[in-house]
Chain A
Amino acid sequence: MKNIRQPIVRALCVSAALLSFSGCASLSGSFPTSLKAVEQSQPVQRQLNIEKWQTANGARVLFVPSPTLPMLDMRLVFDAGSARDGDSEGIAKLTSALFAEGAADKSVDDIARGFEDLGAQFNSASYRDMAVLELRTLTDPEFFSKATDLFSVVAGQPSFPQASLQRIRQQMLIGLKREKQVPGPQVSRALNEIVFGDHPYAHDSSGTESSLLALSRTDVQAYYKTFYAAQNAVIAMTGDLTLDEAKALAEKISAALPNGERAPALPRATAATTQNVKHLPFESSQTILLLGEQSIWRGHPDWVPLYVGNQILGGGGFASILTEEVREKRGFVYGIGSGISPMAAAGPFMVQLQTANENADEALAVTLKLVSDFVKNGPTSEQLESARESIIGSFALTAAENDEIVGQLGAIGFYDLPLDYLTKFENEVRTVTVEQVREAFQRNIHPENLAIVSIGPKAPKIPADENAPDDKAAQP
């Protein structure tokens, strides 16, 4: 649910209650003059009237009519991401990349010209949980049925030509080599492996050189048949269609997909019980530091307090504690942030920063201290109030455009969330308390167990755990 919300968070001095805020004195008096009126306005948002049903063969469908623009966005979401790779690391990504390469009697050129002659856009992509097939087309009859016909052939009868498989695999191998030129991808891979251990989320979706070389066309065909079944699919749609038209289209698409079943639930990932540290040597001018720990999963009861708390700590961009302290006050970094991204079976808490090599020790120590202080103390009530206001105020931005709506629908369907998920989430945000945030952090985030993975010319100094007995060494 990558679109569910963007930046956000925190405060300013408006009322007496907030006057302790840094810099607030300068806002006293009448500036900004528009503040009072804006404070009193109640933010509104576009109401999504989601229609949900199942097709005859069991695909789940979510639809929101959006008649203003003469276009359709359709996203098929399959439980077919790299978590389903098994021993064939990279197969989810390879399979996904082959859809445009041939289907039924159509060649790659036929498919490419077919969509492009209609001005339609086809896309396939895969992530850890999801694999998606997307179509964006005009709804004018001249284009609409041709584009959706071709889309259903591509989704339902891919031919996975051997020549294409070799070519795309070659491109993926070159992509792996290219990853080694820069520090970011390597350190992310290493962190994932440490945080997830032997869980299906541990390996990188791109696979490895040897795993890619071992993949065959038969493997891809079998993967497709198992995981691209109608019963394992969510069909998300928004655009200029009536409900009847949407129903007919969903039937057409799902009837084209293989018959099978929904993939079984993944095993839950478990959290580390000790601190793991790893450094990758690399000639770079910055050291990248990643801190991470498995925390929750999609549907976890602590999600809202963790989400709100994370906005305050490091998820809220320029208004967050980490940016304020590490970038704005110390100038150590260009970017720093924390995040919790819940997936079906896991959701790591992660902090990421990159800083000039000579500042790495200090930046790491400051960051760890900020994280553990936050877990220990929780937010102040002012911070919480601002974060709440911010999140609620930004709700209008989460599903304003068709592109965003179809993303929300795909996620709601895929993760079996209630149709009023966004409203429920908002209501929970409104009522969350300081104690709930602090307790949720203490239950799910353990600073002493955060894996620390770094890349750069020199390993950073790992600060001693200040909570450990007998250690009085104070950190800066």
Chain B
Amino acid sequence: MRYLLLICLLCAGWASAAEQSPTHDFTLDNGLRVLLREDHRAPVAVLMVWYKVGSYDEAPGQTGLAHLLEHMMFRGTEKVAPGDFSRMMARFGAEENAFTSYDYTAYFEKFEVSRLPLMLELEADRMHNLTISDEDFFRERDVVMEERRQRTDDNPSAIAQEKLAALTRPGSGYASPVIGWREELLQLQPDQARNWYKKWYVPANATVVIAGDISRDEVEPLVRKYFGAVPAASAPVRLTPRLAAAPGERRAVIEVPVEVPSLYMAYNVPTLATHPEDFYALTMLSGVLDGGYSARIETKLVRGKKIVAGAGAGYDGVSRGDGLFVLSATPADGVSLQTVEAALQKELDALASTPPSQQEMARVRAGVLSGRVFGMDSLFGQAMELGQMVTLGIDWKMADAYAENLAKVTPEDVQRVAQQWLVPQRRTVGFIQKGAQQ
């Protein structure tokens, strides 16, 4: 919406592929990958179409193009007039939307299951028949400008985050906001969108995921009928994000009109795609620090020393390239950002010098195991997980092994990854504090 999904979907529902939910995986002749997940609790289904293209793939100076194209996908095809796609969705009671991230663009509908053929036909149609008129393009660019104002420009915290994110992975597609820099957005042209669509929106670069009250016998012929008719074209070569060596420490003071200061620390770390073993250890490390109300940040910094009013640690370990391990904190009243940084550093040092306890490890694993079950309550979550993994080039069956792999992580592994990755030359430290808008 058309809105941006900036955060990865790791968390709770991640590991919910499952024994009692059959999953089917096949590929059409035109290269389209199809995944079906059966869940017969209610006569509902979710359809998602994932494209292996995101803002990471934008050429310099063209930030925002991937997301703007996502908007254009609702503006009509050779057969469907602008606005009629959404009207049809609405008429049949479907919820629909889309999201763009650094690594992918995805479209989805959730609907009563008898509507499936229409949903498939419309998604297949806009996979190859999109029309982009100049007039529509410029009006939609205005809408995106409003979206940017609403999300970022009028929120000093968001502005600061955007500036800091630019420092975390300098010189890569991850350094620019998904929605695009304002000045670049304003210069985007219709032909760029047309070329983008032509290059990336081909069946061999897409994955269709359907989760819900379906069977393969009923659905596969429909998928073949509608998506099988989309002409084949070779999938464009997509460059692998480069794996930078430690880029060196970066520190910034960002002055914006905030009433409450905050601290941001982000470490360049590997991900499931770039370093699977360390992915599991870093995931456990993140759980030990911030896996709940009993984890270290809440226990020691929020409640114990009362140094921070709130703080969190998050590991974005599912992406194509290397990722980030982010710590952020809001100081308690009267505490300086320097003090908060020192306190967070002390927690990282503690992990690097002493392995976490077995009880802490067990608690993180308990949350993962129950999360496997809880995640299966959400159809959308199940489809999301499958689509995300396939799109990032990860075997979706790894979700089944997720808990098992986490169980293999030892406290010493956690200590080792803290020593290896959470080091000054891999971090960006930002002080966000009050000042006039820059």
Contact = CB atoms under 8 A, between A and B. Distances in A.
Interface of A: 6-13, 21-27, 31-35, 37-38, 41-46, 66, 68-71, 100, 108-109, 111-113, 115-121, 136-138, 143, 167, 170-171, 173-174, 177-178, 180-183, 283-286, 316-319, 324, 327-328, 330-335, 354-356, 386, 389-397, 399-403
Given A319-B87, A356-B145, A117 B363 contact: yes
B243 interface: no
A182 B154 contact: yes
Contacts of B74: 318
A391 B94 CA distance: 9
A23 B131 CA distance: 14
Contacts of A42: 114
B378 A401 contact: yes
Contacts of A394: 93-95, 111-112
A389 B294 contact: no
A301 to B, nearest CB: 25
A12 B150 CA distance: 30
Given A333-B143, A397-B95, A324 B83 contact: yes
Contacts of B339: none
Contacts of B294: 109, 112-113, 116
A167 B92 CA distance: 49
B286 to A, nearest CB: 14
A332 B145 CA distance: 10
B81 A390 contact: no
A156 B409 CA distance: 38
B82 interface: yes
Contacts of A136: 374
B318 to A, nearest CB: 21
Contacts of A402: 377
B347 interface: no
Given A68-B41, A108-B303, A285-B153, A331 B87 contact: no
Interface string B113-142: 111011011100100000000000001101
B154 A170 contact: no
A286 B303 CA distance: 39
Given A24-B81, A27-B79, A9 B90 contact: yes
Given A100-B293, A331-B140, A395-B112, 20 more contacts: A10-B90, A23-B80, A31-B79, A31-B80, A33-B121, A42-B114, A117-B363, A119-B371, A138-B370, A174-B309, A174-B330, A181-B157, A182-B154, A182-B157, A285-B154, A286-B149, A332-B142, A334-B147, A390-B90, A399-B42
Given A43-B114, A69-B376, A333-B146, A174 B84 contact: no
B309 A71 contact: no
A328 B86 CA distance: 11
Given A7-B95, A23-B84, A397-B93, A71 B377 contact: yes
Given A12-B84, A35-B118, A171 B309 contact: yes
A42 to B, nearest CB: 8
B273 interface: no
A389 to B, nearest CB: 6
B299 A335 contact: no
A217 B268 CA distance: 45
Given A12-B87, A44-B43, A112-B292, A34 B143 contact: no
A396 B80 contact: no
A397 B111 contact: yes
B156 interface: yes
B118 A180 contact: no
Given A177-B260, A180-B259, A389-B91, A334 B143 contact: yes
Interface string B264-307: 00000000000000000000000000011110001100110010
A43 B41 contact: no
Nearest to A323: B86
A393 B111 CA distance: 8
Interface string B206-235: 000000000000000000000000000000
12 contacts: A21-B87, A22-B83, A23-B76, A34-B121, A38-B118, A69-B376, A112-B299, A171-B310, A180-B259, A393-B93, A395-B93, A396-B112
A22 B85 CA distance: 12
B142 to A, nearest CB: 4
B159 to A, nearest CB: 11
B309 A138 contact: no
Contacts of A182: 154-157
Nearest to A455: B154
A356 to B, nearest CB: 6
Interface in B86-116: 86-96, 110-115
B333 interface: yes
Closest 6 CB pairs of A and B: A393-B93, A23-B81, A119-B370, A394-B93, A319-B90, A318-B86
Interface size range on B against A: 35 or more
Contacts of B83: 22-23, 318, 324, 328
A8 B93 contact: yes
* A interface: dominant SS: mixed
A118 B362 CA distance: 10
A316 B83 CA distance: 13
B366 interface: yes
B95 A71 contact: no
Contact of A32 (B121, B367, B370, B377): B121
Contact of B366 (A23, A119, A319): A119
Contacts of A109: 294, 299, 303
B258 interface: yes
A171 B378 CA distance: 32
A26 B84 contact: yes
B257 interface: yes
A21 B86 CA distance: 13
Contacts of B292: 112, 115-116
B44 interface: yes
Contacts of B366: 116-119
B373 interface: yes
Contacts of B117: 34, 37-38
Contacts of A183: 154
B144 interface: yes
A403 B92 CA distance: 23
B369 interface: yes
B65 interface: no
Given A319-B90, A327-B143, A401-B377, A178 B260 contact: yes
Given A174-B309, A177-B260, A286-B150, A45 B86 contact: no
B379 interface: yes
Nearest to A177: B259
A59 to B, nearest CB: 25
A10 B87 contact: yes
Contacts of B379: 400-401
B373 A71 contact: yes
A32 B118 contact: yes
A112 B298 contact: yes
A8 B359 CA distance: 48
Given A283-B437, A396-B44, A390 B92 contact: yes
A403 B259 contact: no
B332 interface: yes
Given A10-B87, A119-B370, A356-B146, A27 B80 contact: yes
A178 B374 contact: no
B123 to A, nearest CB: 11
